[in-house]
Chains A and B, each alone.
Chain A
Amino acid sequence: MGARRVLRHSVWICWKDLLEFSRSRLRLTMLVLMPLFMMGMVGFIFPSSSTMKHQPVAIANQDEGATAATPSGGPAYISYGSIFLGQLEMMNNQTGMMDLSTAKDFDEIRRKIQDGKISGGIIIPSNFTSEMLSGKQGQISVITDQSNPQISLMIQTTLSKTIESMGTQLAIQNLNSTYHVPLARAIAIIKPYDVQFKGVVPGEPNYFEFVAPGIISMVVMMSLMTGLPHAISYEKDMGTLDGMLVAPINRLSIILGKVIAQTVRGMVQGFIIFVLAVFLFGVVIYGSIPLVIGLILLTVFSFVGLGILITSFADKEETATMVMMTLMFPMMFMSGVFFPIQQMPWYMQDVSRLLPLTYAARALRKVVVLGAGVSAVSTEIAVLFGFGLVLLLIALPMFKAAMSR
């Protein structure tokens, strides 16, 4: 009886909140725009293999070449540097990774990097052909832009991979022509291991698949942590909260009504992100949808207590916003929403283990991207539930006390 009365009143308060929300065109627009910006921003701001295209790279070919005996007979001029560049251009035409240009020497490359005209350079020394002809290794220098570690690393990796595979090709050919080893055998001698990359689920790894589940948990967290204190303290400032407090309704109804309203708002935003991720950014959901929805609701539950706690502490809307911001920013960046936790130093990883958002994002990611079942995320579920319960038990008496100061 009592519980039904509390629930009935909270539904009315929730109805009021949503009605008020739906009447404001600006708020409705922001409801849709926020997840759109969020996805667009994180999707395009971070470098991924798909964004590594048309990087300007300059080549200084200083190779003087040499005259050598050819298998067909008489001596002829040969330049391994030009052959190397020909192959590099051919490979680059397929991938479109670099925009190649020419430079004279190291100084010019350095100057162009300093001017920001190119992101890297390749130097082939003058004795490249003669060294190789005399049975030594051909030296190639790759110059990178240290001021941009991400791009620099990317160029380093791709170039060394390209050059290595070109070297392998050359070695196979040499083995074949010099020692008459069959081609297939030659590959096995040079590269005894053949690695193939496979994921748990089909398809290429995609940054959106990493980031979308995290953003969904984050949006749900934000709608509770910002929405709840805001909704209550706004009404406190406006004086309308007194109207509810002076009515013979349970204080629980007020907070419950607000929680339901904010949950609906958070779920709508989460849903928008889902739709965007699937249709615009090609994210494939492998897990079960009910489990995904269940996890999102659990995320809501785990943050309700924290939201109420901030509401109880903050006497004014301004204070609430400040407290909330202070708490939310570390959560956003340290919970592995944008960057994998494994990349962080150990002490940061320890901190991140204390944040519920870490578990929410991880569980959702496992289910959405890897198609995991309930048993695989049971730890996360337990942590989220425990965190939510403990904070709720602390927050509710505090809220009741705060309402009759």
Chain B
Amino acid sequence: MKDLAIRTDGLTKTFGDFVAVDHVTFEVKKGEIFGFLGPNGAGKSTTIRMLCTLSRPTEGTATVAGYDIVKEDAKVREHIGLVSEKMIMYNELTAKENLSLFGRMYDIPKDVLETRIRELLQFVHLEKWADNRIGTFSTGMKQRINVIRAMLNQPEILFLDEPTLGLDPASTAEIRELIREINAESGTTMILTTHMMVEADMLCGRIGIIDRGKIVALDTPANLKKIVSGTDTTILEFEIPHIGPSLIAAIRSLECVGSIVQADETHVKVHAKGDDSFDVLVDTIRREGGRIKTVRNLEPSLEDVFLHITGREVRDKVSDEAKAPHMRGPRHGWDRVNERVRR
């Protein structure tokens, strides 16, 4: 009980008939980076907003930092920081003015606040820009200020809602590094939402995969990946010099194929089920005139986990379409796969 930062019980939020968050129950330990992974509109932000006391749950309860989010909302607010999708900053004000304005709202004594602002600005290497208006900053600089703004009250729990959305690759890497640094140095519990699998994999100790308002899986990234590797699903990456739309369509129409993603011009990634799937795939590609250059048997990524768990919807849509009659090739074992990979 004592080492829990967040504990929710059947947390639900509805907007009219639409159920945004559907009886979500989970726990977050103190000091961990907990990730919410899911597509846009899955209910990640709504969950965060409820935990931040910005939105009232329709049903269910939750405690944040040991306080009830509805009955003790003022107490909750003292112990949390929020970095939301939209930056909480005034463009016309300087970095320092922004930070002192938000610091004042936490009743931090003036001298303490000044030192803290200076230290935090040094921490993100922006002390030289303290007296420049936020509006003149690059998006990456803005987001760094935005993150330290949420750290002003030294929160026990920091909520980060899509913190790298809309940032360029360099700034994204910077912010991820910053999040890790803050967590390592201050031990602040972090709740992170993202729709980027790589980000969740890199940063989070545990991940909750959320889809259509429900948590469909919750575990460490490593354990989540075992969900895929533990089944008879194989992830194969084919390198084919010329990949045409008809080839993709032919592969997709196969019964054994769970999903297909074209990575670039010459690579396709296929989730396939069943022992004979490899043969079927190879036969189909050849029949369609594709020349297979290499085949790799991939380790499942979080993306694969997500496809595996929520893939039913994707498959259902495909099965609605007219399926081409598939050909069953002769039975081969997985030894054939390994043989080809070696070759």
Task: Spell out A's residues near B (CB within 8 Å).
Answer: 5, 9, 12, 15-16, 19-20, 23-24, 238-240, 242-249, 404-405
**Out of B73, B85, B87, B90, which one reaches A20, CB within 8 Å?**
B90
Q: A19-B97, A243-B149, A248-B106 are in contact. List 20 more A-B contacts (CB 8 A).
A: A12-B104, A12-B105, A16-B90, A16-B93, A19-B92, A20-B90, A24-B92, A239-B87, A240-B86, A240-B90, A242-B86, A242-B88, A245-B54, A246-B54, A247-B102, A247-B153, A249-B105, A404-B54, A405-B55, A405-B56
CA distance A24 to B133 in the complex (A): 12
Cβ contacts under 8 Å, B145 to chain A: none
Given contacts A20-B90, A20-B93, A239-B86, contact A9 B105 (CB under 8 A): yes
The A interface is mostly helix, strand or loop, or mixed, namely: helix
Cβ contacts under 8 Å, A15 to chain B: 101
Considering the complex, give the chain B residue whose CB is closest to the CB of A241.
B88
Q: Are B74 and A248 touching (Cβ within 8 A)?
A: yes
Interface flags for B85-114 (1: CB within 8 Å of A; 0: not) read: 111111011000100011011110000000
Q: Are A246 and B87 touching (Cβ within 8 A)?
A: no
Considering the complex, give the chain A residue whose CB is closest to the CB of B78.
A248
CA distance A243 to B107 in the complex (A): 15
Size range of the interface on B? 20 to 34
Q: Are B56 and A240 touching (Cβ within 8 A)?
A: no
> Can you pick out 13 interface pairs between chain A and chain B where the beta carbons lie within 8 Å of each other?
A9-B105, A12-B104, A16-B97, A19-B93, A20-B92, A239-B86, A242-B54, A245-B53, A246-B77, A246-B81, A248-B74, A404-B53, A404-B54
CA distance A404 to B104 in the complex (A): 22
Is B21's CB within 8 Å of the partner chain A?
no
Cβ contacts under 8 Å, A243 to chain B: 82, 88-89, 102, 149
Q: Are B88 and A239 touching (Cβ within 8 A)?
A: yes
Interface flags for B57-88 (1: CB within 8 Å of A; 0: not) read: 00000000000000001110110111011111
Considering the complex, give the chain B residue whose CB is closest to the CB of A9.
B105
Q: Are A247 and B55 touching (Cβ within 8 A)?
A: no
Is B52's CB within 8 Å of the partner chain A?
yes
CA distance A245 to B80 in the complex (A): 12
Cβ contacts under 8 Å, B75 to chain A: 248
Q: Are A5 and B107 touching (Cβ within 8 A)?
A: yes
Q: Are B88 and A23 touching (Cβ within 8 A)?
A: no
Q: Are B106 and A247 touching (Cβ within 8 A)?
A: yes
**Out of A5, A16, A239, which one reaches B85, CB within 8 Å?**
A239
Considering the complex, give the chain B residue whose CB is closest to the CB of A247.
B105
B98 to chain A, nearest CB (A): 9
